[in-house]
């Protein structure tokens, strides 16, 4: 695939990421993706011959990788687990404020919609969440926790952050994210 083809594919994925995060899977139509991306209809089916699910899979995969890469890069920088969580919350909070609370977690909106009805997309979301939890757990193991305790703590913190993102979007306020950061600090103090 040439440079122009890759650019078009990237625009389609970027538009899909934005739309599904704000509107969800069912609220996002392919015509909206085409309008948002500026890509011709033929390009959509050239790059994603299986249609919407294939495009959404690519968008969710890219979003999940972006967050996973962030967590791993913060860990490599020897930031503590608490520091990683604080930085992650800060990134999410900044995105949320810039979007006037239309964006939160790049997976959550779709994950909630498809958890029972679309196994392929559910698995993409589950794999991304597992990677995020595993990366944080790895850092906690480095800090002295057993693998079991690290997995449990990382899972609790991830659930806390996801819940705080939901509440922040609903209330149009960072307060719940700030509370989640403080609670994560208390939970992870060891």
Give the tens place of pLDDT for each residue, 29-83.
999 999 999 999 999 999 999 999 999 999 999 999 999 999 999 988 788 999 9
Fold (topology level) of 56-188 = Tetracycline Repressor; domain 2 (1.10.357)
- Residue 1: pLDDT band by 50, 70, 90 thresholds? low
Mean of per-residue pLDDT scores for the chain: 94
Q: Which of 65, 82, 42, 91 lies closest to 185 in space, CA to CA?
A: 82
Q: pLDDT tens digits for 148-170?
A: 999 999 999 999 999 999 999 99
What pTM did the predictor assign? 0.92
Q: Which residues contact 81 (CB under 8 A, 6 or more apart)?
A: 136, 139, 140, 143, 153, 154, 188
Return the closest-CA partner of residue 56 out of 153, 133, 2, 123. 123
Q: How far apart are CA 183 and CA 133, in angstroms?
A: 17
Please say whether the beta carbons of 73 and 29 come within 8 A: no
Whether 91 and 99 have beta carbons less than 8 Å apart is answered as no
Q: What Rg do the C-alpha atoms of the chain give, in angstroms?
A: 18
User: What mean pLDDT comes out for the span 172-179?
Assistant: 95
What is the CB neighbour count within 10 angstroms for residue 122? 16
Report pLDDT for 158: 97
Residues 6+ apart with CB under 8 A from 166: 104, 108
d(CA 70, CA 26): 28
The pLDDT confidence band at residue 190, using thresholds 50, 70 and 90, is low
């Amino acid at each position: 695939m040439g440079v122009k083809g890759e650019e078009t594919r990237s625009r389609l994925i970027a538009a899909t990421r934005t739309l599904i995060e704000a509107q969800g899977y069912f609220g996002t139509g392919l015509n909206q993706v085409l309008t948002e991306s500026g890509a011709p209809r033929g390009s959509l089916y050239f790059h994603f011959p299986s249609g919407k699910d294939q495009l959404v899979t690519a968008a969710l995969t890219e979003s999940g990788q972006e967050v996973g890469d962030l967590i791993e890069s913060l860990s490599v920088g020897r930031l503590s687990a608490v520091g990683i969580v604080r930085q992650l919350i800060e990134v999410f909070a900044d995105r949320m404020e810039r979007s006037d609370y239309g964006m939160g977690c790049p997976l959550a909106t779709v994950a909630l919609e498809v958890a029972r009805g679309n196994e392929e997309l559910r698995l993409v979301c589950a794999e991304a969440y597992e990677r995020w939890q595993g990366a944080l757990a790895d850092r906690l193991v480095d800090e002295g926790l057993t693998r079991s305790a690290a997995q449990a703590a990382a899972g609790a913190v991830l659930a806390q952050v996801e819940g705080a993102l939901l509440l922040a979007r609903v209330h149009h306020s960072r307060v719940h994210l700030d509370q989640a950061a403080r609670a994560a600090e208390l939970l992870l103090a060891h």
